[in-house]
Amino acid sequence: MPRFKNVISFRIEPAWAPDFDAAQQQLEKERFVPCGATQESSAGWVEPRGQAEGPLLESVGGQWLLEYMVESKTLPASVVRRKLDERCAQIEQQTGRQPGKKEKKQLKEDITQELLPMAFTRHARIAVWIDPTARRLTLDTSNQARADGVVTALVKALDGFGVSAFHTQVEPGSAMAGWLATQEPPAGFSIDRDCELKATDDSKAVVRYAKHPLDIEEVREHIAQGKRPTRLALTWEDRVSFELTEGMQLRKLQFLEGVFDGAGSDAQAKDEGFDTDAAIVTGELGQLLPALLEALGGEMEPGMAAAVPASPAAPQAESQTAAPAAKAATPTAATVAAADDDGPPF
């Protein structure tokens, strides 16, 4: 069970009725199949425990666990370009003319198909956690394109499944500015030593602090001048550290000392280690995510406006209209996330 270095989370729509056995059967139709010789990419569901031909859906303490596999082939652009130049030179030598734009495009596609069987293969595995009680979908990735692909795959596989973005009553950027200006983070959270501030005017000036105290006048002055925090390092209950971003993302997620003490220590009980890790990860994040939403004023009801403080020190705030959350097969959402390889999408 991956320990979720990265997290993107969505609210599951109320129309979906969880049915474990039905979901297991529906996922089987979308089991992962490796790329064919000339296929550029392939994606599908794999066994979360890593057991060949095992179940695609596991339940630990009532929490559903899945894993999505993406396989892609990579061709070095320089190799394709060199082959294309050689092919164009041959045509010019044989016919006395240079290939046009349309012909070059077709030649490039032909060369790509020829080289794909020899291409490098990359794999990305995305752990997926469905909390059917709290109605929350959580993904172990920071890549929004990958997250959207997983959501689309779930919508395709599970009858009636849909998700919506989390929208909070206070915008994360405004909340972080207030916490930095007052040095008063919400209960259970503490401010760490990393931060990024960005100007909202045309200058787009950026100031970054790394491993640096943030309770200094210089930080407050930047905020007073109109710079907004785009990310801020926080720790929750001395158990989980992360960076919160203006998009309501969690980055650089780390479970701190003591959280996993004794977990997975029995090498002869791989299944028990999976279950233990799953229980700890879902237990910790199952408390952190609601606490974070509460720190941002709670979730908005449809039609409500997100609070935008007039100044960081004055949370009484003006407001601006925010669109209500809507069901989406491929959502573009404010998300709860953390950093992974930020690799290319599918």
pLDDT in tens, 137-173: 999 988 889 999 999 999 999 999 999 989 999 999 9
Domain count, the chain: 3
**Average of per-residue pLDDT values in the chain:** 84
In a domain, residue 36? The reply is: yes
Q: Are residues 94 and 26 in the same domain?
A: no
Q: Are residues 51 and 84 in the same domain?
A: no
- Give the pLDDT of residue 109: 82
- Give the pLDDT of residue 268: 43
Q: Are residues 48 and 150 in the same domain?
A: yes
The residues that bridge with 240 in the sheet, in sequence order, are: 236, 255
Would the pLDDT of 321 be above 60? no
In a domain, residue 152? The reply is: yes
Q: Are residues 204 and 241 in the same domain?
A: yes
Q: Are residues 105 and 253 in the same domain?
A: no
Strand, helix or coil for residue 247: coil
Q: Are residues 54 and 97 in the same domain?
A: no
pLDDT grade, residue 198 (50/70/90)? Answer: very high
Task: Measure the CA–CA gap between 286 and 278, rounded to whole angstroms.
Answer: 11
Q: Are residues 125 and 244 in the same domain?
A: no
Contact 304, 322 (CB under 8 A): yes
Q: Are residues 126 and 147 in the same domain?
A: yes
Give me the percent of the chain exceeding a pLDDT of 90. 55
Q: Are residues 266 and 149 in the same domain?
A: no
Would the pLDDT of 327 be above 50? no
Would the pLDDT of 200 be above 50? yes
In a domain, residue 2? The reply is: no
Q: How many residues does the chain have?
A: 346
In a domain, residue 342? The reply is: no
The residues that bridge with 60 in the sheet, in sequence order, are: 63
Place of tokens 């279950």: 275
Write out the residue range of the structural domain in which residue 90 sits: 77-117
- Give the pLDDT of residue 1: 63
Picking from 17-26, 34-43, 278-287, which range would have the lowest pLDDT averaged per residue? 34-43
For the residues 261-281, what does the mean pLDDT come to?
73
Answer with the residue of higher pLDDT: 186 or 313: 186
Element (H, E) at 230: strand 227-236
In a domain, residue 263? The reply is: yes
Dihedral pair phi/psi, residue 94, rounded to 5°:
-80, -30
Q: Are residues 305 and 267 in the same domain?
A: yes
Q: Pick from 164, 192, 222: which residue ends a domain?
A: 164
Q: If we measure between CA atoms, which residue out of 23, 12, 60, 81 comes closest to residue 280?
A: 60
Q: Are residues 207 and 277 in the same domain?
A: yes
In a domain, residue 345? The reply is: no
The residues that bridge with 236 in the sheet, in sequence order, are: 189, 240
The most confident of 47-51, 324-328, 341-345, by mean pLDDT? 47-51
Task: Measure the CA–CA gap between 43 and 128, rounded to whole angstroms.
Answer: 14
Task: Measure the CA–CA gap between 172 and 322, rounded to whole angstroms.
Answer: 13
Task: Measure the CA–CA gap between 86 and 77, rounded to whole angstroms.
Answer: 14
Contact 126, 139 (CB under 8 A): yes
DSSP assignment of 166-211 equals --BSB-HHHHHHHHHHHT-PPTTEEEEEEEEEEESSTT--EEEESS
Contact 226, 197 (CB under 8 A): no
Say how many Å lie between the first and final Cα of the chain, rounded.
Answer: 22
Would the pLDDT of 317 be above 80? no
Dihedral pair phi/psi, residue 230, rounded to 5°:
-100, -20
Q: Are residues 261 and 181 in the same domain?
A: yes
Would the pLDDT of 322 be above 80? no
Task: Measure the CA–CA gap between 291 and 300, rounded to whole angstroms.
Answer: 15
Answer with the residue of higher pLDDT: 123 or 294: 294
In a domain, residue 3? The reply is: no
Q: If we measure between CA atoms, which residue out of 169, 345, 338 comes closest to residue 254?
A: 338
For the CA atoms of the chain, what is the radius of gyration? 24
pLDDT grade, residue 271 (50/70/90)? Answer: low
- Give the pLDDT of residue 44: 96
CB neighbour list of residue 316: distance below 8 Å, 6 or more residues apart: 309, 310
The most confident of 112-126, 232-246, 249-263, by mean pLDDT? 232-246
In a domain, residue 150? The reply is: yes
CB neighbour list of residue 275: distance below 8 Å, 6 or more residues apart: 1, 60
Strand, helix or coil for residue 25: helix
Task: Measure the CA–CA gap between 138 and 102, rounded to whole angstroms.
Answer: 44
